[in-house]
């Protein structure tokens, strides 16, 4: 029990010494490890045209020769063909890309 308290105190002190960006990176690393039940919705104007569920994360593409970030994001998720927030039988996990100028929203699945 005492070791747990000492470890928790040491972790809290180490985290307090981190910058906000370092804390954000640590949080994203933990989230990437544990997974996220994310939803990505794509819009054409104000109309929902595609929804992907069970998305772990969106990644920013990096150029192989110049190591610069690209203007699109990519990931893997189940294409929710009937837009019901559920990965139904027959709906497959697919790779997707969204452009930097597209209208999309990424959020945690509320169901």
Q: What is the largest CA-CA distance in the chain?
A: 57
58 phi, psi to nearest 5 deg: -105, 135
Domain boundaries, the chain: 1-34, 35-111
What does the pLDDT look like over 38-80, one tens digit per residue? 999 999 999 999 999 999 888 888 888 998 888 888 999 999 9
Q: Express each pLDDT in 8-35 by its tens digit.
A: 555 665 656 667 666 566 555 554 444 5
Residues 85 and 39 sit within 8 Å (Cβ to Cβ)? yes
78 has which bridge partners?
A: 53, 93
CA distance 110 to 37: 9
Distance of CA 89 to the CA centre of its chain: 23
Paired with 66 in beta bridges are: none
């Amino acid at each position: 029990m005492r070791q747990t308290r000492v470890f928790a105190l040491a972790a809290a002190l180490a985290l307090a010494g981190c910058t906000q960006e370092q804390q954000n990176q640590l949080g994203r690393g933990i989230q990437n490890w544990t997974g996220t039940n994310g939803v990505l919705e794509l819009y054409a104007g104000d109309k929902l045209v595609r929804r992907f569920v069970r998305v772990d994360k969106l990644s920013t593409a990096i150029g192989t020769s110049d190591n610069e970030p690209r203007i699109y994001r990519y990931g893997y998720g189940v294409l929710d063909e009937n837009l019901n927030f559920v990965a139904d039988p027959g709906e497959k996990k697919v790779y997707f890309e969204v452009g930097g100028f597209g209208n999309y929203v990424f959020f945690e699945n509320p169901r």
